Amino acid sequence: MATKSIPRAKAPQSVGVSAKVVNDFFKNAEEKSLEYHSLMVIRNGKVAVEWYNEPFDKNTTHSVYSVSKSFTATAIGFAVCEGLISLDDKLLDFFPEYAPKKADPRFDTLTVHNLLRMSSGKQPSFLSDKAKVDWIEDFINSPWVFEPGEKFLYINENIYMLSAIINKVTGMSMREYLRPRLFEPLGIDFPFWETDRNGIEAGGWGLYLKTEDLAKFTLCYLKDGKYKGEQVIPKEWVRLATQKQIDNEYNRPGSDSSFGYGYCFWLDHLGGFRADGMFSQFGIAFPEHNAVVVVTSSITVEQDGLDGIFDFFPKAFIEADENTELDLAKSVAPALSEHPEKEQEINDRYIKFRKKLLLNLVGFQVSVLPLAITYMMSDKAGNIDMVKFDFNGEECTFRWSEGDEHNIIALGMDGHYRYSTMTLGQIEFKVCSNATWIDDNTLLVSIRPIQTVGKRNMIFSFRPQDKVVMTPSSTPYVGDILDTLGGFFDQMIPNKKICEAFKKFVQLLPPLVEPKHHGRFIEGIKRK
């Protein structure tokens, strides 16, 4: 059977990609501290550049956040072309059991078309705990903020409803529906996609892909739905999805998120289009240059991530370059840790932390998971309770509990990561971890779930009388995340005074979300 992989070029220059410009891309990323996790550049049907930033590699499945929307829209495209649904179908026609008791004429114009182009007019609360509600009911009963089709308003729930529609009309999950139509023809291993309690995929996020998987998908759209000569996605759907369906000029004016929106694809200032996910996950098509650029990242400000690409692409496709060698960026290894006498004192002893009751009430239970990770499962991780360190020369075993979940991972202390798995919120994560002594009484533990954008740092300060203070933080930093979300408040909160008050409130959240945790060593606890 023929391979489904994208062919590799002998050198970037052989397919018209300047190695010099690509080298400049990496230099710029380093100078501006832009954390790209992977890069794949395809031109004329061949991979010209392929790079992974340790610990990420070609086999890493990475959370792609809102890139998931483009896959959901593709499922809708198949269903439309197969005659299962129409773009003019009304939402309530699929879910009559959820119809409000009092008829509302606005539902007569809330169609599949409006969901696809982010113009439903609905605004579900972004503060509600989605794990505790029926998402379909929550959407239908959410307030109207404008008439359906009137304007653009970017919300995840629109795309969840499309996922629910696929589930309703096909009787299968969206993954299963896409398996023979998209995943198998592109050679994409059956991917993980987060679901709600009813088994319906999130639609708007929650999909995990390899870098080449996203590259295949973007390349297929670039080629009018064809991959390796086979028509995979209907050509007419590709045309509709990647052309301007609604104006979004008012959405972050001047940014690359204001040049029009298709069916879950963003249009850019160069005349191309992209699948786009939070923290700068991009599958960017350059039709004029027969090229695709794909990155996974951990860059909070999306425009920074896009500028880091558009400043060098399509320049790399235009400038002549014959002799420059590609100089791929090198990863920075964790710091080598010294091993103070403190290790003997704390070895094999349990530390009990006090509960943060207020955090429990507002849903911010502190976890080993970075704050950038979002997931839908009802049993969420959080409430760090007990921890224990077992030092053994160049490695440390780290045990902890969060509620009813218990995990054990290895921490490298010799300048190298250790790889482990942990399960939190019913999801298994592969992690790379290390620990470094900052001073004789302060230990920094860093844990990165490598399928995600974030890294969790926890500083343990060992104090007299067996007291311990743990200070958590995450990259991306919670303040930067909240600042980014603040850009959406203008859309979500029509009242300007309330909007500004909410923005000021959000600025107060970081120290509340990431507070210090106080604990102490305790005796008599059995090993778990």
Task: Give the CATH number, domain containing residue 368.
Answer: 2.40.128.20
Q: Is residue 239 part of a domain?
A: no
For every residue of 163-176, DSSP letters joined together read HHHHHHHHSS-HHH
Whether 161 and 264 map to the same domain: the answer is no
**For tokens 């990242």, what's the residue?**
297
In a domain, 486, yes or no: yes
Beta strand residue intervals within 356-454, DSSP E: 384-392, 395-402, 405-412, 418-424, 427-439, 442-449
pLDDT recorded at residue 206: 92
Residues 123 and 11 grouped into a single domain: no
List the single range of 195-209, 276-290, 498-512 with lowest mean pLDDT.
Answer: 498-512
Min mean pLDDT across 359-363, 455-459, 476-480 is at 359-363
- Let me know if residue 236 belongs to a domain: no
pLDDT bucket at 403, cuts 50 / 70 / 90: confident
Q: Is the pLDDT of residue 528 over 50?
A: no
How confident is the model at residue 1, as a pLDDT?
41
Single pTM value for the model: 0.91
Q: What is the per-residue pLDDT for 404?
A: 85
Q: Under DSSP, is residue 222 helix (H, G, I), strand (E, B) or coil? A: helix
Residue 130: half-sphere exposure toward Cβ, Cα within 13 Å = 22
The residue segments making up the domain with residue 201 are: 61-209
pLDDT of residue 493: 63
Tell me the per-residue pLDDT of 302-341, one tens digit each, with 9 for 90 and over.
Answer: 999 999 999 999 999 999 887 888 988 666 667 777 778 8
131/375 Cα distance (integer angstroms): 9
Task: Please tell me the total count of domains within the chain.
Answer: 3
pLDDT at 179 over 90: yes
Query: How large is the angle between the packed helices 67-81 and 211-222, nearest 10 degrees?
Result: 50
Res 362: pLDDT: 44
Mean pLDDT (the chain) is: 89
Domain assignment of residue 69, yes or no: yes
- Residue 212 has what pLDDT? 98
Assess whether pLDDT exceeds 90 at residue 222.
yes
Claim to verify: residue 144 and residue 172 sit in the same structural domain: yes
Task: Name which of 319, 273, 328 is nearest 17 in CA terms.
Answer: 319
Supply the pLDDT for residue 307.
97
362 and 476 co-located in one domain: yes
CB 11 within 8 A of CB 17: no
Residue with the larger pLDDT of the pair 252 and 211: 211
More confident residue, 489 or 51: 51
278-313 burial string, b = 16+ CB within 10 Å, else e? bbbbbbbbbbebbbbbbbbbbbbbbbebbbbbbebb
Same domain assignment for residues 110 and 12? no
CA 378 to chain centre: 19
CA distance 1 to 186: 13
Same domain, 474 and 393: yes
Whether residues 118 and 100 share a domain: the answer is yes
Whether 312 and 164 share a structural domain: no
Q: What is the CATH number of the domain that holds 67?
A: 3.40.710.10
Contact 41, 291 (CB under 8 A): yes
Which tens digits make up the pLDDT trace of 112-152? 999 999 999 998 866 556 666 789 999 999 999 999 999 99
What pLDDT is recorded for position 284? Answer: 98
**By C-alpha distance, which of 421, 324, 265, 332 is closest to 48?**
324
Note whether 311 and 22 are within 8 A (CB).
no
One-letter amino acid at 177 equals Y
Give the residue-averaged pLDDT of 256-266. Answer: 95
Q: Are residues 100 and 16 in the same domain?
A: no
Q: Are 281 and 295 in contact (CB under 8 A)?
A: yes
Q: Which of 332, 352, 368 is the C-terminal boundary of a domain?
A: 332
Helix-helix angle 156-170:67-81, to 10 degrees: 40
Q: What is the pLDDT of residue 486?
A: 61
Q: Band of the pLDDT at 507, cuts 50, 70, 90?
A: low
Mean local confidence (pLDDT), 45-69: 96
As a whole number, mean pLDDT of residues 406-412 equals 96
In a domain, 240, yes or no: no
Who's near 224: CB < 8 A, 6+ residues apart?
A: 235, 238, 239
Q: What is the pLDDT of residue 238?
A: 98
What proportion of the chain, given as a percentage, has pLDDT over 70?
87
Residue 528 domain flag: no
Query: Which pLDDT belongs to residue 322?
Result: 79
In a domain, 448, yes or no: yes
Question: 41 with 86, same domain?
Answer: no
Verify that 488 and 375 share a domain, yes or no. Answer: yes
pLDDT above 60 for 360: no
Q: Is the pLDDT of residue 512 over 90?
A: no
Q: Identify whether 237 is part of a domain.
A: no
Asked if 416 and 347 sit in the same domain, the reply is yes
Among 76-85, 89-98, 515-524, the range scoring the smallest mean pLDDT is: 515-524
Q: Which residues contact 215 (CB under 8 A, 6 or more apart)?
A: 6, 40, 42, 47, 283, 292, 294
Q: Is the pLDDT of residue 361 over 60?
A: no
Which pLDDT band, with edges at 50, 70 and 90, does 42 fall under? very high
